[in-house]
Structure 1
Amino acid sequence: MAQEKNQLRMKDYEEIVAFLDQWGCFQKAVFFLLCASIIPNGFGAFNLVFLTDVPDHHCFVPDLNFSEEWRKSIIPKTVLNGKQELSRCSRYRLDVVQNLSDRGFIPGRDVNLTDLEEERCVDGWSYSTDVYLSTVVTEFDLVCSDQWAQPFTTSVFFIGVLVGSFFSGQLSDRYGRKPILFATMAAQTIFTFAQVFSTSWTMFVILLFFNGLGQISNFVAALVLGAEVLTGNVRILYSSMGTCLGFAVGYILLSVVAYFLRDWKSLLMALSLPCLAYIPLWWLLPESPRWLLSRGRVKEAEAVIRKAARWNKVQAPTVIFETYS
């Protein structure tokens, strides 16, 4: 019986606040500010495309006294997809090459390169900087025997997204839409910035996991808050197009920023620091009146509606939610 009564009250909500109109200054501010709050989700969902890209690479060759012919031939050539490329994970043994170079042998003429013994990249790798100055892959050498870590990094992020989706709704129902929205925005900003100072791949993916916790949680909190504050056709427009538009703007801006910033640390800083501009939104965005009413906080819900009335320059009734009192 209590549940049916509550549902009836929720249905009456739009009729009670109809005096506000659907598209006043208050609704416009909520609509566009919430859309703006979703922009970082577009950053976070796709930045790993750039952060974990694998540039061309081959074994690093120390500056030893080789002849020019041997320096050009020390990396074996392999055929990949019908195209001849330098081997990414092996080189000819340096001591053997050094001996052959000192004796004046010419590779390919005096020595059959396919007969030479190969070794792993024990001195590290040389990475191409044609596209990126650095990525997480080049920073922590996630190649060859550790190449599994590159796709696993993305998996860790989406595991965080999955875990966050399990409890964000419950937290939002208990503590309110607005606190959870800003808590998840803060989590994304803080952990994205903290990743810049990662000293190991393990540290990076741990921070990435917590970053993922706020990803879908932030999106859903903004979606629910807007859907409960706005009414009528504006509510439908926001829920169907507004939120998606904010997300799309995020990943469009990501591609622009990534084009100009080609090292992973600069990219993360550029994606996290501007989010500090969202702090003033705490004083501009309201709590959901519907949620306040569901918790029995009628006076606080009325305060939100009276503020909206002032913004829209309309007169609010003396008692707004009489049936909820």
Structure 2
Amino acid sequence: MRDYDEMTAFLGEWGPYQRFIFFLLSLSIFPNGFCGLSIVFIGDVPEHRCLIPGNLNLSEVWMNRTLPLVQEGDKLQYSKCRRYRLDVITNLSETFPDLDFFNMSEVEQEPCLDGWEYSKDQYISTIVTEWDLVCNNDWKGPFSMSVFFLGVLVGSFISGQLSDRFGRKAVLFGTMAVQTGFSILQVFSPNWEIFCLLNFLVGIGQISNYVAAFVLGSEILGKSVRVMYSTLGVCISYAFGYMLLPLVAYFIRSWRILLFTLSFPGLLYIPLWWFVPESPRWLLLKGRIQEAEAILRLIAKKNGVTPPAVLFTDVELEDMKAQSIQSYAIIHLVKTRNIRAITIINLLVWMILAIGYFGLSLNTPNLHGDDYLNCFFSGAVEIPAYTAAWLFLQKLSRRFSLSGVLFLGGVVLFFIQLVPSNLSVLTTVLVMVGKFGTTCAFSMVYVYTAELYPTAVRNMGVGVSSMACRLGSIISPYVFYLGVHHEFLPFILMGGFTVLSAILVLFLPETVNIPLPETIDQMQKMKVFKCRSTHNKCYHFCKNATTGEKNLVIKKEEI
């Protein structure tokens, strides 16, 4: 029985229409790059200190003494969250108006009761300055990012189900509308709570848009183009959007205007509705044969090929429908020891990757040097990373390639704490090398995970792994937030976890140049469980040292 790819082989792999769809669907991911990480500038924390009312009539000498000095790292700075009691300062200034020195250690302190004064050197406004998300409320900044990733988690959970029910095209454009619409509404947020709610909805739309475009392209394009589409297509389009973010943010320093400017291009994608087709594969599974055949004949016409008179036989259509109604529960991902071990390792690797990728991306404002250049470099380094991932996926070992780039990305983060403070450029370079390794691994892990699982549970396996990834992204804002307490702690944690994931990957089976498994029984065995399986028992052969004869010995019970 022919599969779908054989049935549609007459279209060719890389005709004019496939190139057109490749470009359009990749282009639809472009806004995800600058909208998803816009919080880097919208939620940045500028320099701040307690606001001192101007009606106190304090001299310049006493005005400078209203704030206590605190030790932050190796620097002595004015406190950002405390001040001396102003009534005491006022009385002292009246008693000692010209005194140039006074011991302030015994003066009682108080919080910033009149709010804060923020530096205008870099920003006109951010959500931090808008709603005073500092000091006792400093947890709200990372929480604003985590809420977005919580929406991404929910979106990744529901997008597949919506796509299977209503179609790839409808979900793609519907979620693009959700992302664009709620991003624009965020501009008018009256308070932090409404901003977070809308940020949650934007997260749902963004990941659903990405997944729908990924699935639609994978189903329209041929086998040989899918790996290129998932790396050099959607991923590099995302990276170009990411690189555009600091350029726009450099010229627009008000968070509301910046967010509106970044959201508005989403409206320009409305005309794509008339150019992007529905997935013929999905239409066939839903029994909409005439619509599917019309699209396939249109593709053939655009590619200049003559389609066969009969595209699908009745037997083939019935077989596809039968395959589509087969159902598997999540329990099948942990049913045997082998698939359970693969699933656990995948969950850990995906979660660690998300923590590393988003932790490094969101940590841009904490790096030395210019924030806008650092953000640009963080986006630019993704282009060679995706290109390298594509090259690795062409012929090299999946297992060793993925483990190697993870090890590279993790080890360089350890060296950051050894860099002298006067070599801040070297620190930035090491961070970018770490970002290169993590990004490269992120692109490769999608393909590797899809090859590890059999057809029966492949979508479920990738979906559950993706949900673990979203949990890691929710945690990531708080990882770089630890830098407030220890400058190098985020890099130590991310480096350690990434090296651990590199080791875990080595236990997974190799999949390069190996046919994709169709059933759970056809899955490759992990190295630690490599054995011959017969009737759910695992055996190994022992060689007699004298005769050389191999004897069959039961080693393990059920795998």
Instruction: State whether structure 2 residue 280 is matched by structure 1 residue 289.
Output: yes
1:88 and 2:88 matched: no
Q: Report which stretch shifted further, 147-156 or 17-26.
A: 17-26
Choose the corresponding residue for 1:56, options 30, 33, 47. 47
Aligned to 2:231: 240
CA distance in 1, matches of 2:19, 2:68: 63
Distance in 2 between residues matched to 1:289 and 1:262, nearest whole Å: 46
The answer to whether the 8 Å contact 2:35/2:263 transfers is: no
Q: Which moved more, 1:278-287 or 1:146-155?
A: 146-155
Q: How far is the alpha carbon of 1:106 from its aligned partner?
A: 4.1
Residue 127 (structure 2) aligns with: 136
Question: In the aligned structure 2, how far is the partner of 1:225 from the partner of 1:120?
Answer: 55
Q: For 1:278 and 1:260, how far apart are their aligned partners in 2? A: 24
- Please state if 1:272 is matched with 2:263: yes
1:51: Cα distance to partner?
1.6
2:9 to 18, 26, 37: 18
Query: What 5-or-longer segments of structure 2 have no aligned partner?
Result: 318-559
Say whether 1:74 aligns with 2:66: yes
Counterpart of 1:250 in structure 2 is: 241
User: Aligned to 1:36, what secondary structure does the other structure show?
Assistant: helix
- AA of the residue aligned to 1:196: V
Distance 1:315 1:76 in 2: 81
Q: Is the 2:82–2:110 Cα contact (8 Å) retained in structure 1? A: yes
TM-score, scaled relative to structure 1:
0.92
- Structure 2 distance, partners of 1:196, 1:322, is 54
3-state SS, counterpart of residue 320 of structure 1:
coil
Instruction: Look up the match of 1:3.
Output: none
Distance in 1 (alpha carbons) for counterparts of 2:100 and 2:313: 93
SS in 2 for 1:79: strand
| Conserved 8 A contact 2:39-2:145 | yes
> Does the 8 Å CA contact 2:49/2:78 hold for their aligned counterparts?
yes
Q: In the aligned structure 2, how far is the partner of 1:210 from the partner of 1:285?
A: 25
Give how far 1:184 is off: 1.1
2:155 alignment partner, one of 148, 164, 189: 164
Distance in 1 between the 2:69 and 2:213 partners?
Answer: 53
Equivalent of 1:321, from 309, 312, 317? 312
Contact 1:90-1:119 within 8 A present in 2 as well: yes
What corresponds to 1:100 in structure 2?
92
Please tell me whether the aligned partners of residues 91 and 119 of structure 1 are also in contact (alpha carbons under 8 angstroms). yes
Partner SS state of residue 83, structure 2: strand
Question: Cα deviations across residues 10-65 of structure 1 (Å, max 9, x unaligned)?
Answer: x1x22333332222221111101111111122223312222211111001111121
1:225-262 deviations in whole A, cap 9, x for unaligned?
00000113222311233121122112111122222222
- The 1-side partners of 2:17 and 2:99 are apart by 76
What is the DSSP-based 3-state SS (H/G/I as helix, E as strand, rest coil) of the residue aligned with 2:54?
A: coil
Q: Which moved more, 1:91-100 or 1:292-301?
A: 91-100
Q: Secondary structure at the match of 1:280?
A: helix
Moved more, 36-45 or 170-179: 36-45
Superposition pairs for residues 105-254 of structure 1, below 5 Å? 105-106=97-98, 109=101, 111-254=102-245
The match for 2:509 is none
Q: Within 1, Cα distance between the matches of 2:100 and 2:139?
A: 35
SS in structure 2 opposite 1:116? Answer: coil
1:101-125 deviations in Å (ceiling 9; x for gaps) = 233434552x312222222111110
Cα shift readout 1:134-178 (whole Å, capped 9, x = no counterpart): 111111101111111111111111111111111110110011001
* Counterpart-to-counterpart distance in 1, 2:313 and 2:247: 51
Corresponding position: 1:39 with 2:55: no
Is the contact between residue 189 and residue 275 of structure 1 (CA under 8 Å) also seen in structure 2?
yes
Give the match's secondary structure for 2:169.
helix
Secondary structure of the 2:24 match is: helix
Cα pair 1:184 1:217 within 8 Å, conserved: yes
TM-score (norm 2): 0.54
Distance 2:237 2:257 in 1: 23
User: Is the CA contact 1:73–1:107 (under 8 Å) kept in the aligned structure 2?
Assistant: no
Cα distance change on mapping 1:245 and 1:74 into 2, 3 Å: same
> Using the alignment, how far apart are the partners of 1:108 and 1:309 within structure 2?
87
Moved over 6 A (4+): none
1: distance between equivalents of 2:237 and 2:284?
A: 28
Q: Aligned-pair RMSD on alpha carbons?
A: 1.7
Q: Please list every run of 5 or more consecutive structure 1 residues that lacks an aligned counterpart in the other structure.
A: 1-7
- Contact conserved, 1:107 with 1:113, CA < 8 A, in 2? no
CA contact (8 A) 1:70 1:106 kept: no
8 Å CA contact 1:298, 1:321 repeated in 2: no
Bigger RCO of structures 1 and 2 (CA < 8 A, at least 6 apart) = 1
Task: Please state if 1:300 is matched with 2:291.
Answer: yes
2: CA distance, partners of 1:106 / 1:172: 74
Task: Answer with 179-188 or 256-265: which moved more.
Answer: 256-265
**How far apart are residue 276 of structure 1 and its match?**
0.7
Matched residue type, 2:90 = Q
